[in-house]
Amino acid sequence: MSSSTEPLGPSRQPTLGADMRRDLSDAPFLLAARGRQPSRLPVWFMRQAGRSLPEYRRLRTGVDMLSACFDADLLTEITLQPVRRHGVDAAILFSDIVVPLRAAGVDVEISSGVGPVVRSPVRTASDVDQLPELHTEQVDAVAGGVRALVGELGGTPLIGFAGAPFTLASYLVEGGPSKNHERTKALMHAEPELWHRLMDRLATMAVTFLRAQLAAGADAVQLFDSWAGALSERDYRRFVLPHSSKVFAGIADAGVPGIHFGVGTGELLPAMREAGADVVGVDWRVPLDEAARRMSAGGRDAPVVQGNLDPALLLASWPVVEDEVHRIVEEGRAAAGHVFNLGHGVLPDADPTVLTRIVELVHGLRPGPTGR
Ligand code: CP3
């Protein structure tokens, strides 16, 4: 049934086998993510590849954010910078959640100090129907960067990522960052059928973007639903969970660990785990032992957690940071595994030398759950 005019759909997406990935079976990050015993407690930082690093700011001079994301050499170098500097246990691809939208042809910019800005917000049925599909070859530059990275990273795993359908929908519907997500919530309740159509398209786009990264060799993925915490559990389950589940199901054949993260999601943790993640990221508002308790309620297995130092505390004195790291690591022992991280991204004003000290401190602490 194929013809030259047929659009490339999910059926044409790359197949993903374990044979296309490096064998990193001893990597502490991958072991912990699978609930197995790592040789040391793994640590990486969300937004480690970015503005807190002077070497990043130098490279980005005169290059706008999204251009950098489509330059394979530049994104490779920026991804490697924090790995070299901090000795973290995983690299995270330098990209952005709006990269697949831009690649597909949506007019979106990242405005410095603001975030993603969409020129024509998506609010009507015709807006949704006109949202372009993402084709794998439109993110060839990203895949090229991933291939170069897995060649250069040695034993360090590379985390690929995508924005979850809800967080992307919020930027598209609001037209930019939003405090209350009011147009987004109004749309999901007033026009549920249209809402689900939009979310389905964004889920397909996330799957295409993640599969391109996985086919190029990414070792794990994180699905960022940064703003899901704005929703009640009831609305999350009805309007969001089926679509985030579709994303995890769409990459399950790769067999790599999946992480799911959002901010302010204390009430949503069990539901977010149900989307199909192996690891659930927790922000600083809920202690990790309490997060593990919530996610194992009803007789479920203990989860693997990631988190959750408050990024603001990177600006406090070292003894404060040290105490918090010890507390978090102890609380993390209630889970089936713990990947140390911040509760959200590194803030631009954070002192990178503090991040390096945190890595050294975490690596010196005993890994694994209580009693192992
Ligand atoms: O180190 C890493 O984590 C990898 C790179 C990464 C970026 N964006 C680079 C970036 C990742 C994983 C993201 C994801 C992302 N982008 C999310 C989810 C993660 C989260 O923080 O919740 C979101 C919500 C976005 C949208 C976005 N892009 C925002 C809100 C901003 C900040 C705007 C600002 O200037 O305050 C961006 C821009 C952005 N993405 C920067 C970086 C390094 C800063 C751009 C710059 O250097 O000027």
Query: Rounded to the nearest whole angstrom, what is the distance from the C-alpha of residue 96 to the centroid of ligand 1?
Result: 6
Q: With pLDDT > 70 as the criterion, what percentage of the chain qualifies?
A: 96
Q: Which atom of ligand 1 is nearest to the CA of 50?
A: 43
What's the CA-to-centroid distance between 47 and ligand 1, angstroms?
7
Residue 266 makes CB contacts below 8 A (sequence gap 6+) with 229, 283, 285, 286, 291, 294
| pLDDT single digits (tens) 68-97 | 999 999 999 999 999 999 999 999 999 999
Residue 319 pLDDT > 50, yes or no? yes
Centroid of ligand 1 to alpha carbon of 46 (angstroms) = 9
Q: Where are the beta strands (DSSP E) in the chain?
A: 91-92, 108-111, 115-118, 158-163, 220-224, 258-261, 279-281, 304-309, 337-342
- Give the residues surrounding ligand 1 with Cβ less than 6 Å away: 46-51, 60, 65, 92, 94, 96-97, 110, 112-116, 161, 224, 226, 345
226 Cα nearest atom in ligand 1: 22
Euclidean distance between the first and the last CA atom of the chain, given in angstroms as a whole number: 56
pLDDT band, residue 8 (cuts 50/70/90):
very low
Please report the sign of the dihedral spanned by the C-alpha atoms of residue 360, residue 363, residue 369, residue 371: negative
Backbone phi and psi for residue 250, each to the nearest 5 degrees, phi listed first? -70, -10
Residue 180 to residue 123: CA distance in whole angstroms: 16
The angle subtended at Cα 16 by Cα 12 and Cα 21, nearest 5°, is 140
The reported pLDDT for the residue numbered 370 is 76
Of the candidates 49, 47, 48, 45, the residue with the CA atom closest to the CA atom of residue 60: 49
Hey, CA dihedral for 69, 70, 71, 77, is it positive or negative? positive
Q: Return the amino acid letter for 199.
A: M
Question: For ligand 1, atom 45, which residue shows the shortest CA distance?
Answer: 65
User: How confident is residue 12, by pLDDT bands cut at 50, 70 and 90?
Assistant: low
Q: Report the predicted TM-score, pTM, of the whole model to 2 decimal places.
A: 0.95
**pLDDT value of residue 369:** 83
Residue located nearest, by CA, to atom 35 of ligand 1? 113
65 C-alpha to ligand 1 centroid (Å): 9
